Structure 1
Amino acid sequence: MFDHTTLIIIITVIVSLLAWQNKTLFNRLIFYPPAVSKGQWDRFVTHGFIHADSMHLLFNMFTLYFFGRAIEGLYKPFLAGYGFVVFYVLAIIVAMIPSYIKHKNSASYLSLGASGGVSAVLFAFILIAPWDMIYLFAVIPIPAILFAVAYVAYSIYADRRGGSNINHMAHLWGGAFGVVATIALQPQILPYFINALLSPSF
């Protein structure tokens, strides 16, 4: 039996591969504000299961695999054991809401990728272990809290630069959702995080 993190990864990889082979399917799943405004609200979820290319998919699923498995147990007590799945899907939805509000009248705006959900998972992990090492590109060690700062800075820069359908601001909103939702479900995490942050250990 797969854990929920692995199950989400399998579904995301399959849907992304199918969408790359079928342009009609790809266009139906991607986040497109005019279609959403006409009632295709499912795009708030489906866009999180397709990706721009293999590197986009690999980066998101690599991150989700390591950090999702590390924190999945936090959400298991909720919603009959499906708390992590609901947390992940809600993060994808919530992370897209600001972009929808900003671009709902834009016929040229498109967005895709699991970044909102993955960022929520990553930032929830940082609450638990701010000084644990994250290996950038699977090689370069960097403390999780410093990675978070760099991640936010890069997301702001990439959003301003533009040039792709990857929604970099969804990284920030997803991360914010991950922090708020995790503290709301497990309030004791906040004092734990503050104490851990003030007591660096490498």
Structure 2
Amino acid sequence: MLLNYLLNLPVASVIFALTIGLSIYVFSNPQWYGRLMLHPYSVYRDKSKWYLVLTSGLIHKDWMHLLFNMITFYYFGFGLEATFVQISGPLGHLWFALLYIVALVLSDIATIIQNKDNYGYHSLGASGAISAVLFSYILFDPKMLLGIFMIIPMPAYIFAVLYLGYCIWASKNASDGINHDAHLFGALTGILFTLILYPWIFKHFVSQF
């Protein structure tokens, strides 16, 4: 089964394994957090530090953070790569990789700008890119049921509206240490990237209602 995933969905498989492996490594070697976390103050002043935009998306704060993101990625990342391949053939693997990388970068741009003078601010986690994956998937199947908090069933299109609304509110009002801007801009990146890649997806989305 693992070999089938690797052969048929190599990009999602590598992202999944690399994120879990590197996250577990830094759990036991916390000195690596400082080397891999996003530090907007440094990135803004030293362009050689832009690699932190990517590495910060491969590590997580704790087991719960990692588990939540990887469960979401497992259910939607592999399915989205398969969908891209079904539509675009082997190029679908490349499109999925680009979606994930572009989302990692764009989901952090607002964070870098807003915190460029805040030396004490750091950010980590794959939530921005995974939000992009989820929202891209929703365009293909807007009426699928999502289990909110793994319990409450809700149609995906309703979840999407509530999620975006909450992210906008939380980015201005919440003080929970969560990078809500990354979630918001990651989700928007997933939508925009998919619309550019497959312009017909808008008509498909609307036709589902």
In the superposition, the TM-score normalised over structure 1's length comes to 0.90
- May I ask how many residue pairs the two structures share in their alignment? 196
Unaligned runs of 5+ in 1: none
Query: Residue 62 of structure 1: SS of its match in structure 2?
Result: helix
Larger helix proportion of the pair = 2
> Which residue number corresponds to residue 88 of structure 1?
100
Aligned partners of 1:163 and 1:137: how far apart in 2?
A: 18
Q: Percent identity?
A: 37
CA contact (8 A) 1:75 1:82 kept: no
Contact 1:6 1:65 in 2 (8 A): no
Verify: 1:163 aligned to 2:172, yes or no: no
Deviations 1:53-105 (A, max 9, x none): 11111111111111112221343337583221221111011100111111112
Counterparts of 1:1-20 in structure 2 under 5 Å?
1=3, 2=6, 3=9, 4-20=11-27
Of 185, 190, 193, 2:202 maps to: 190
CA shift for structure 1 position 108: 1.5
Is the aligned partner of 1:56 residue 2:68?
A: no
Letter in 1 for 2:109: I
Summarize the alignment of residues 173-184 of structure 1 with structure 2, pairs less than 5 Å apart. Answer: 173-184=185-196
Question: Which string of whole-angstrom CA distances, capped at 9 and with x for unpartnered residues, describes residues 30-54 of structure 1?
Answer: 0002221222110011111111211
RMSD value, Cα: 1.7
From 117, 132, 138, the counterpart of 1:105: 117
Structure 2, unpaired ranges of 5+: none
Opposite residue 162 of structure 1, the aligned amino acid is S
SS in 2 for 1:141: strand
Runs of 4+ residues deviating >6 angstroms: none
Native 8 Å contact 2:140 2:204 kept in 1: yes
Q: Secondary structure at the match of 1:27?
A: helix
Contact 1:133–1:143 under 8 Å retained in 2: yes
Q: Distance in 1 between matches of 2:92 and 2:78?
A: 18
